[in-house]
Amino acid sequence: MNKKTLQPVVLSADEVAFVRGLVIYEDPEILVLNKPAGLSSQGGRGQVHTLDELLWAFAKPGKARPRLIHRLDRDTSGVILTAKTKPAASFLGKAMMGRKFSKTYRAIVTPAAPEPKAGSIDVPLRRDEQGREAYMRVCPPDHPDAETAYSRYRTLAEVNGAALMELDPDTGRMHQLRVHLAHLGRPIAGDARYGGALVVAGHAVPRLMLHARALTFPHPSGGKKRLEAPTPSDMAGLLAILGLA
């Protein structure tokens, strides 16, 4: 880790209050937050601080900030896990690599629920760079850049023109759920990158309607932990308007 990475980020009082308001669970080893849509986990290009940088709000004097264990897309909301100590970060990193994490998402899709209404998607993906933008594409298993990708889904509610889905990715490829649902012809509402509707039943979609609802993982001190993030107000509002709540 280079010295630049170790340099504390100076945060405003508003930024400190903002990130502290995202906490949904904390103990001596882990810190779990409900990331809002529009906040980059890491590597943002603008002048606004990323979540990774905002974590300096929790750093003890002379010590490093909590470490992100995984990421969420900038426009995806929900549960995100950090480790407060190096041993916890090592333990959780190995657990994630060993696929001992279970993630559950909620999404609004159009124009209807998939058929069948519950099932799995086992379709490899490959990364496609276009300028400064990165996309994921479905591809044949024998493609030289193919990465295995497996997702499970079930329909929670449906109305004419939209459905509320629960999604469980077994692999963690970039944009996996977004591309898999688009592959089924049921893109996530608000997902302009992969063909999602920007208006549903006459109502504008405020952003990508994808929320990381729950995360289950082995705790560094033993046992399993399950943490949930409530549905954000913009998504809850659209669900109510559509009759999917």
The amino acid occupying position 215 is: L
CB atoms within 10 A of CB 132: 6
d(CA 154, CA 113): 9
How many alpha carbons lie under 13 Å from residue 115 in its C-beta half-sphere? 2
Say whether 170 is catalytic. Answer: no
d(CA 91, CA 94): 5
d(CA 36, CA 39): 6
Distances (CA, A) of 196 to 15, 22, 179, 188, 215: 32, 28, 10, 5, 25
Catalytic annotation, pick one of 73, 142, 168, 234:
73
> Which residues are tagged catalytic?
73
